[in-house]
Amino acid sequence: MSTSMKDKIVFVTGASAGIGAATAMEFARHGARLLLCARRMERLQAMEPALREAGAAEVLPVALDVRYRGAVERVWHDLPESWRPVDVLVNNAGLSRGLSKFHLDDVENWEEMIDTNIKGLLYITRTVLPGMVERNRGHIINLGSIAGHMAYANGGVYCATKAAERFITDGLRIDLNGTAIRVTTVDPGMVQTDFSKVRFRGDEERAAKTYQNVDPLQPEDIADVIVWAATRPPHVDIQTVLLTPTAQANPFVLTRRG
């Protein structure tokens, strides 16, 4: 029997766009209570009516930049007690900056990726997980990447942050063995989101070329996998899902039409 998400508290980070927003919508269709955080509060608030219409039991948007441990602690401290027993944590907040050779790259790009993709995941998980352990229930779903399995040119630091996510996830699963808490990493290949636009700091023309003449994954595809993993029977832990567009074999092999 699958696990019902009705009235379960689902905490999604980076929920204002892309995979995070699609994940929030898919959990809304399952009747979940949605705790959503992102840096852009106005986007979260704009999403709220559609999420409620889709079936979300409740929606609580929270402005939060996961890079800052103090901010994470303050938000958690100020959270209403009724929202703290998180059932599913989706660590989605993440980004890539730049696509340059290591010796030419901007160190600030590295700082932002490490602070968001690794430290942000750690801060949020360390805050939420003790309650899961105390209640002996919960599910942590981390967003990884095909880049965490194989490095590619000009992206070594980003790839390293996603490799770190993969090993943190594996370590969590080992540390939590013997509890009823499940741990999953969902690792997509090419997904058409603002990812490339963020990587190239708003250069829409350059970002568009990333997806030219290919049918990439869509955010809804990833959301579908996330919710599928969360709704498996309690004795089933989907450890790792690596998914790509049919046109993509790995970070280096991608067939474009024409």
Q: 1 lies in a domain? A: no
Output the domain CATH number for residue 229: 3.40.50.720
- Say how far apart CA 218 and CA 191 lie, in whole Å: 5
Q: Mean per-residue pLDDT for 126-147? A: 98
In a domain, 3, yes or no: no
Q: pLDDT (tens digit, 9 = 90+) per residue, 165-188?
A: 999 999 999 999 999 999 999 999
Q: Is residue 2 part of a domain?
A: no
Give a yes or no: residue 135 inside a domain: yes
**Is residue 211 annotated as a catalytic residue, yes or no?**
no
238 neighbors 184 (Cβ within 8 angstroms): yes
pLDDT at 36: 98
Q: Is the pLDDT of residue 20 over 90?
A: yes
Domain that holds residue 204: 9-254
User: What is the model's pLDDT at position 62?
Assistant: 98
196 pLDDT higher than 70: no
Residue 156 lies in a domain: yes
62-110 residue pLDDT tens: 999 999 999 999 999 999 999 999 999 999 999 999 889 999 999 999 9
- What's the number of domains the chain is made of? 1
Q: Which of 68, 123, 158, 211 is catalytic?
A: 158
Q: What angle do CA 130, 84, 2 make, to 5 degrees?
A: 85
Q: How far is CA 114 from CA 50, 55, 120, 136, 146, in A?
A: 33, 35, 8, 30, 17
Q: Give percent of the chain with pLDDT exceeding 90.
A: 90
Q: Is residue 72 part of a domain?
A: yes
| Residue at 13 is within a domain | yes
* Residue 207 clears pLDDT 80, i.e. is over it: no
What pTM did the predictor assign? 0.96
Q: Please, which pLDDT band fits residue 126 given cuts at 50, 70 and 90?
A: very high
Q: CA of 56: how far to CAs of 13, 50, 70, in Å? A: 17, 9, 29
pLDDT in the model for residue 208:
77
